[in-house]
Structure 1
Amino acid sequence: MRKFVLGSSPEQVRALLPNRKIMPVSLGGVKIAVVRINDDFFAFERLCPHQKTSLEEGNINAYQEVICPLHHYRFDLHTGEVRSGDCRDLQIYKANLRDNGLEITF
């Protein structure tokens, strides 16, 4: 497992990640997506497992699911479980807000 820290304080992390906007992040050469929903942070693979469409163009619904913009497949941001669609689950990475920034483990 590898750990990376995004930002240097909780305030800076909140400023870097506008609420409910999926942001691309490159950590150690690996490109992932990160989203903040109020004070919850989620990190996940940036391409939909179905047809590799960028989830950065997707939406977040009221159930904390990311919705793929191509076929509207829905994935639970807590578990990665596909909730609507026929493909494998989305890879989720651990994201924890710490005093020194957002710690992402994958």
Structure 2
Amino acid sequence: MREPKYIWYKIAESENELHFNNNNLIVAIANKKKITIGKFKEKLLACSYNCPHAGGILSDGHIDAQGNIVCPLHHYRFNMVNGHNITGEGYFLKTYPVEVREDGVYIGMEEKKLFSFL
């Protein structure tokens, strides 16, 4: 299996520019798409804006003690690193890599190709 190729989108000039709510979550825009950004133990993590179950806005939820994002609607929990639904309902959350570089904070989105056989 091939490693995914990413296109990187700058969301902030620095980490200090990201003003997290009390729940350590914010909404950012990358490639004209809303993304939820979370901060857990000084690490930045990114995932979809909406919960895959019922569309809850994940930035209105919270991050639990293990670093999972918790949806505000039905309290489904997702690992923000790999997207696995840890409460067992079988849903999968889209996650994105985050890089903090000298010139800013970037979100990686997989490069989409029309045909990718290799």
Name the TM-score, length of structure 1 as normaliser.
Answer: 0.86
Which residue of 8, 20, 23 corresponds with 1:3? 8
How far apart, CA to CA, are the structure 1 residues paired with 2:11 and 2:32?
14
For the pair shown, which has the larger CA radius of gyration, 1 or 2? 2
Counting matched residue pairs gives 103
How far apart, CA to CA, are the structure 1 residues paired with 2:40 and 2:86?
19
How far apart, CA to CA, are the structure 1 residues paired with 2:49 and 2:40?
17
Name the TM-score, length of structure 2 as normaliser.
Answer: 0.78
- Offset at residue 85 of structure 1 (A): 4.3
RMSD: 1.6
Which residue of 11, 16, 19 corresponds with 2:18? 16
Q: Does residue 49 in structure 1 map to residue 55 in structure 2?
A: no
5+ residue gaps, structure 2, are 1-5, 110-118
Partner deviation per Cα, 1:47-67 (whole Å, 9 max, x = no partner): 000001110110101101000
How far apart, CA to CA, are the structure 2 residues paired with 1:38 and 1:20?
13
Give the helix-richer structure, 1 or 2: 1
- Offset at residue 2 of structure 1 (A): 2.4
- Offset at residue 101 of structure 1 (A): 1.3
How far apart, CA to CA, are the structure 1 residues paired with 2:17 and 2:41?
12
Q: Does residue 25 in structure 1 map to residue 34 in structure 2?
A: no
How far apart, CA to CA, are the structure 1 residues paired with 2:41 and 2:7?
26
Aligned to 2:105: 102
- Offset at residue 91 of structure 1 (A): 0.3
Q: Does the CA-based 8 Å contact 2:12-2:106 persist in structure 1?
A: no
Aligned to 2:81: 78
How far apart, CA to CA, are the structure 2 residues paired with 1:85 and 1:14?
35
Which one-letter code corresponds to 1:5 in the other structure?
K
